[in-house]
Amino acid sequence: MYLNEMQLQVRDMARNFADSSIRPLAEALDRDETFPVALYDEMAELGLFGIGVPEALGGPGFDTLTYAVVMEELSRGYASVADQCGLVELISSLLVRHGTPAQQKLLPEVLSMRQKVAYCITETEAGTDVSGIRTTAVRDGDGWRLNGGKMWIHNAPVADIGFVLAVTDKAAGNRGMSIFIVDLHADGVTRGPKEHKMGQRASQVGGLDFTDVKLGSDALLGQEGRGFHMMMSVLDKGRVGIAALAVGITQAGLEAAVEYAGTRKQFGKAIAEFQGVQWLLADIAKDVEAARLLVHSAATKIDRGEDATRACSMAKCFAGDMAVQRTADAVQVFGGSGYIRGFEVERLYRDAKICQIYEGTQQIQRMIIARELLKKGARG
């Protein structure tokens, strides 16, 4: 899939930023689980947040393919940083598509990271099965009262604004959910402790509890009862983003493995001369390229206005599984050194695992792919 001149320029800018500003910090960010405010400020100045926000609303107005390219390059630097880019893209997409003009005034604050956001869906009984959410919003005068709790929410420990999926009509199932814009500093909002994760450790994850949180009538995003559908409307793009992130992780592993294989010597010669190591490198390289092409194909389908659901699930499923398997191969190239903290491939292996889980598990992606096949046929 060929990139045009503008996309190549954006790619090179993101790549240079990853090399100069992200990668040198990655080990420390992982070790200390730090939220890198200064780094995100730099990214905001470069326009790396809200890639798809139209120029009229303060964004660069790039397409989904450009977003995927940026996600890959940032992730090649450090996946936690790319994850923040993906979160802002998801929230800004919701505001662009469904926000009122007043709500869209939040966009400059979000894109500049002056207001940090969280997308609040997951609960104890509602992960993959979103229909299991128990958080409720009930009418209270001309506003609402929010009650419930969320867990494993990205940015929960640091966010200023939450986009909270809540039940507004228990009898209506998926048609009875709505999204609310919530001030996370308001009375009745309690934050849980920061979770300590296996990988992508600089991404801040935690819980949020809502106890009689009073919301104004302007807190409702879009139409009442359309929250589930609004959430689903950005999932395809979200899955492209995670797939691109997985590609970036594995590309970094490939680069590290190739360099190490050329310098590490055993039995009097570089291990790159051994066929067993060559095959490992070849398998990583071919699968990275295959995943990248799936990502670019899915992104292009979105940009053309085509039905991209199957393509996005394929890209996310393949790239997520590929990242776990092939970063393990990168560790294998390093041998015992790859198992030691401080070596990049050890972190990349840990960072890859979540790509099989969030934005829909790999099992859910396979269900979607099969459903689309059976509904539309093998050619799609």
What is the rounded distance in angstroms from the CA atom of residue 88 to the CA atom of residue 57?
Answer: 15
What is the rounded distance in angstroms from the CA atom of residue 119 to the CA atom of residue 256?
Answer: 34
The pairing of beta strand 117-120 with beta strand 161-167? parallel
What is the rounded distance in angstroms from the CA atom of residue 163 to the CA atom of residue 119?
Answer: 5
What is the rounded distance in angstroms from the CA atom of residue 353 to the CA atom of residue 197?
Answer: 11
The kind and range of the H/E element at 377 are none
42 is catalytic: no
Q: Which of 55, 344, 359, 372 is catalytic?
A: 359
> 1-7: which pairs have CB atoms within 8 A and are 24 or more residues apart?
1/65, 1/292, 1/293, 1/296, 1/297, 1/300, 3/65, 3/69, 6/66, 7/65, 7/66, 7/69
Exposed/middle/buried for 15, CB within 10 Å: 0-12, 13-18, 19+?
middle
Contact 82, 75 (CB under 8 A): yes
Dihedral of the CA atoms 60, 64, 65, 69 (nearest 10)? 70
The kind and range of the H/E element at 43 are helix 37-46
Which residues are marked as active site? Answer: 359
